[in-house]
Structure 1
Amino acid sequence: MVDVPELVAQAREGRPRAVARLISLVEGASPQLREVMAALSPLTGGAFVIGLTGSPGVGKSTTTSALVTAYRKAGKRVGVLAVDPSSPFSGGALLGDRVRMSEHASDPGVYIRSMATRGHLGGLAWAAPQAIRVLDAAGCEVILVETVGVGQSEVEIAAQADTCAVLLAPGMGDGIQAAKAGILEIGDIYAVNKADREGADATARELNHMLGLGEARGPGDWRPPIVRTVAARGEGIDQLVEAVEKHRAWMEEHGALTARRVRRAAAEIETIAVTALRTRLADVHGDRRLAALASRVVAGDIDPYRASDAFLADLTGVGG
């Protein structure tokens, strides 16, 4: 058994091993996870979460690394969750954190963790919300969540981030991909990366046109800006950070930041509750109550919907 209070105290001191152990408890769905979350919750709320998403090959990792550099220059402690495809053999992340962002590996003000999706759709590991909470409690002021590049299922990042930045690149058909994937609805900021390549202007124009077509905004609503970057050279990163800060200020002014975080917490609660219920349902496969109701359905005494209501009421103790 892990000494959770001691581990949390060490994480608060910025000890990487303690942070890593806490995230491992989260990923492994440890029996002590409830104790961990209870200890962390009062310590959270100080971090700003930035999601980076986009099609494979647009330069998400390079942009993430450049943003880490920018925020470290500003004196911020930074956490990075890089969500990778799961290994078909081990279930672990295919790419290691040290390989992805080796230039920041020795910086004590940066914590980088690769997490595996483990087959979870949406581009995010199922444990990402709890892992974000660990980094928040550990004193990270900015948390960058980089999703696995899987295209149409990337939209889940919007539910986990305070600000969602969507990356595109010229010459990749990203305009069509953006429309198809639905990411035009989730982006708070759009970055045309690799803007030194031919076609960058056309990509920006196409994106601006598509955003205009989909607009249903009032005079005071946020309109996503389009920023051009060459992340490999650090160009445009300051403008990207400025766009993030402007979005944060707008959200705080309009109460949107708190509303977004409430929605995020609600989704997390729902996921935990549904998972617990699914586990309980799996445990009652072959239960006499289930068999008895099934017999009544076959006999025509009750329809399957009423049978389901009765079974759930019996299982949860709540009348249907």
Structure 2
Amino acid sequence: MQLALGPTRYAYTDITAITSHFRDKLGQGGYGTVYKGVLPGDVHVAIKMLISSMSDGEEFISEVSSIGSIHHVNVVRLVGFCSEEMRRALVYEYMPNGSLEKYIFSSDKSFSWDKLNEIAVGIARGINYLHRGCDMQILHFDIKPHNILLDSDFTPKIADFGLAKLYPRDNSFLPVSAARGTVGYIAPEMISRSFGTISSKSDVYSFGMLLLEMAGGRRNVDPQASRSQTYYPAWVYNQLSRQEVGEISEARGIHEVEKKLCIVALWCIQMMSHDRPSMSEVLDMLEAGVNGLEIPPEPFFCGDEYAPDANSLHLPESTTFSE
């Protein structure tokens, strides 16, 4: 009955047993450390031990319940949780193929264009569901390859989608309305309101950067690249606008999926939030063919003269910005 109503509540001793005393560490991030665990029946899970100073217990349980009611094929499912004194944990379904990051930036683990397109559409469906398909609108604020996990069939699933909601609304942590994210994927309005208000369009921007990286197999900012290619989105736009599209992915000639992903991405990364499509419009573009797509207006900062200097790009991988 409890399984039907929502995520299961576990005692901390259960979490210890499930993880075999936290033996198998899967990764670590700003929110906490993730361990592999096994539930009865040989069900594999990923358990995220959250940092200790999270919100009060009642608020945490209330929000976990709401997040636990979310079920979508492209969103990682919350199986259970632990809230015991200052100990907080989230129990997610385990994704055996890890994150998208290790596939799109690796030459020996590359996907076919059809599979990349399928993954892009799946991610878009998941984000659109978080924006429009739930009782509450959930803004992710940290869409990037690392937070897209792949199941045994390489179906993409969005992870860490509910963590912003679990932070207390006081001065020591960022409220949902405040900006957070990872350098290279943060929408301009996250840093300055002159680019628009923080909204679902902020996730659209991050998704656009993710699409560019999927299409090109390289990070959107690469200090090691030649001067004209350091800021990848500007280089892609210049190539598309000049119809010199043969080198967008250096390993292969241009493919129609590659061109489509790039065009949709450039719409998504328009500097002003009101110039970007909604996630449902992005999904429509991805599900259509490339022939009906127009190249968007030039995103601000495109063009070689606006490309950031590689020497100025040595920023920490993750950062947060307050209001």
TM-score range, shorter chain: under 0.3
Query: Which has the greater radius of gyration?
Result: 1
- Greater helix share, structure number: 1
